[in-house]
Amino acid sequence: MSGILVDSDVLIDVLRRRKEDLVRNWVELATAGEPLFYSPVSLAEIRHGMREREREGIERLFAGMTCLPIDEEAGSLAGDYLRAFHASHSMALGDALIAATASVHRLALWTQNHKHFPMKDVRFFEPTEQPDL
């Protein structure tokens, strides 16, 4: 599968338009038709911190992407990540599930927090990269 799995931190900054370069990269990817995916973990994290006035914008943002389910393979890999990195990197369950989803589906992970993802099999999307169209 080709495309990009977008981490919660990127989605939050897109929603709140915090970083001009990040938002510009988001628009370029969406306009170019690059497949963008999200984890249900990100949806839960964003809805948890959502203000009611943000609901419509959040729903529009997620409607333009595809949610990838967390299946047995991703759950198993996330458990392996937690076993390997929880103590040394304080890895959280949500990050482990997001990383495992990216790995299982062979997607680049777009995150601003590379240190949260120390595993070697996760490939990162760097906004300066040009997507393969």
pLDDT digits (tens, 9 = 90+) for 35-82: 999 999 999 999 999 999 999 999 999 999 999 999 999 999 999 999
Q: Looking at the predicted structure, is the pLDDT value of residue 128 above 80?
A: no
Secondary structure letter of residue 118 according to DSSP: -
- Return mean pLDDT, the chain: 92
Residue 33 tokens, joined: 């038709």
Q: Looking at the predicted structure, is the pLDDT value of residue 133 above 60?
A: no
Q: How far apart are CA 121 and CA 114, in angstroms?
A: 13
pLDDT at 30: 87
Q: Looking at the predicted structure, is the pLDDT value of residue 22 above 70?
A: yes
Question: Residue 79 is which amino acid?
Answer: G
Q: How far apart are CA 115 and CA 40, in angstroms?
A: 21
Helix (H, G, I), strand (E, B) or coil at 124: strand
Q: How far apart are CA 44 and CA 50, in angstroms?
A: 10
Domains of the chain are: 4-116 (3.40.50.1010)
Q: Looking at the predicted structure, is the pLDDT value of residue 126 above 50?
A: yes
**Within 13 Å of residue 66, how many CA atoms lie on the same side as its CB?**
16
Q: Looking at the predicted structure, is the pLDDT value of residue 9 above 60?
A: yes
CB contact at 8 A, 108 and 4: yes
pLDDT at 131: 47
